[in-house]
Amino acid sequence: MGSAPVGRITRGTTGTNRLRRIDRWIARHPALRGAGPEPLVVDLGYGASGVTALELEARLHATRPDVEVLALEIDPERVRTAREQLENVRGGNTPFRPTARVRFERGGFEVPAPRRPTVIRALNVLRQYDEADVPDAWARMTARLAPGGILVEGTCNEVGRVATWVEVGADAAPRTLTVSLRLADLELPSIAAERLPKALIHRNVAGERIHDFLRALDREWERASALSAFGPAQRWRAAMAAMTDAGWPLRQRSRWRLGEASVPWDRVAPR
Ligand SMILES: C[S@@+](CC[C@H](N)C(=O)[O-])C[C@H]1O[C@@H](n2cnc3c(N)ncnc32)[C@H](O)[C@@H]1O
């Protein structure tokens, strides 16, 4: 066998439905929708259970029935657990399709895959590393991507209602930050500060761009409070329109209704 996987075993916390916001975003992404036949999607660091990898396949299958998911985990014990789960899936004893195109293997940031992945999803993995580890991890993972492929690296809370992620291109350059929030009962968008990707989580301080971005989100969300009567999605849309008017070049306008905001990386990058 080859050399040891790159990285280290960390806490395996995961949960059903936790990554739904990220999966739905990936399912609509042009990198996946425009990919050639049989696109490979890697789920790196799936944790103590294989459930979020199975959910990823199920969600992507709806838009790309030919998608294949390779789920990688650095902890061999967790690979064994997930393979047992997969046996149950194959036996038709779970809500997942018995034919789900998912495999569970051991691997790390070197991404041992039989062909180049179109997407790598690494959620809640780098969180337990140091900020200084991020560039190398991004470089290793993106070096494996298919041309036009993307790395989706981010963090969310336990139940997936507060999520943020970075889209990184095959050249290892970060492109956008997306914040995705459950709007019902949302007090302030800056709740996302606690769940920023590792590259930004220590940067939410005065003088940093991410700090300005989160403050601007809070300000416009509060100013749009009169629209609450029409529902939180209307209020979010109004707040995002005001962000745009104030000069924030937000992307993916059609996704505002979902409580999302995507901003070019250079507007939030650490100084
Ligand atoms: C907190 S869990 C996240 C599980 C799942 N992705 C989620 O968001 O619910 C992080 C997992 O990543 C694994 N991990 C950490 N570094 C890794 C690496 N370099 N390669 C593969 N897995 C890694 C850990 O062993 C752990 O099981």
Q: How far is the CA of 45 from the centre of ligand 1 (A)?
A: 3
Tokens 């995705």 locate to 180
Give residues (CB < 6 A) around ligand 1: 5-14, 18-19, 44-47, 52, 72-75, 78, 108-109, 123-125
Q: Is 138 in the same domain as 225?
A: no
Instruction: Please state the rounded mean pLDDT for residues 87-103.
Output: 97
Residue nearest (by alpha carbon) to ligand 1 atom 27: 47
Q: Is 145 in the same domain as 255?
A: no
Which of these three, 117, 143, 172, is where a domain ends? 172
Task: Examine residue 183 and state whether it is found in any structural domain, yes or no.
Answer: no
Per residue in 160-206, pLDDT (tens digit) is 999 999 999 999 999 999 999 999 999 999 999 999 999 999 999 99
Strands (E), 126-225: 150-156, 162-169, 174-181
Banded model confidence at residue 2, pLDDT cuts 50, 70, 90: low
Per residue in 109-127, pLDDT (tens digit) is 999 999 999 999 999 999 9
Q: How far is the CA of 247 from the centre of ligand 1 (A)?
A: 37
pTM score of the predicted model: 0.98
Q: How far is the CA of 149 from the centre of ligand 1 (A)?
A: 21
Task: Examine residue 261 and state whether it is found in any structural domain, yes or no.
Answer: yes
Total count of domains within the chain:
2
Q: Is 125 in the same domain as 252?
A: no
Task: Examine residue 204 and state whether it is found in any structural domain, yes or no.
Answer: yes
d(CA 239, CA 245): 10
Per residue in 51-85, pLDDT (tens digit) is 999 999 999 999 999 999 999 999 999 999 999 99
Instruction: Please state the rounded mean pLDDT for residues 20-46.
Output: 98
Per residue in 204-216, pLDDT (tens digit) is 999 999 999 999 9
Which of 10, 70, 123, 156 is the best mutation target for the ligand 1 pocket, counting ligand atoms within 8 Å of the beta carbon and taking the most? 10
Q: Is 67 in the same domain as 144?
A: yes
Structure tokens at 166: 């970075």
Which of these three, 172, 200, 217, is where a domain ends? 172
Which pLDDT belongs to residue 3?
Answer: 84
Residue 230 sits in which domain range? Answer: 189-267
Q: Where are the alpha helices (DSSP H) in the chain?
A: 20-28, 30-33, 51-63, 76-90, 134-142, 198-201, 209-223, 232-245
Which of these three, 106, 140, 172, is where a domain ends? 172
Per residue in 15-27, pLDDT (tens digit) is 999 999 999 999 9
Q: Is 241 in the same domain as 142?
A: no
Q: Is 115 in the same domain as 195?
A: no
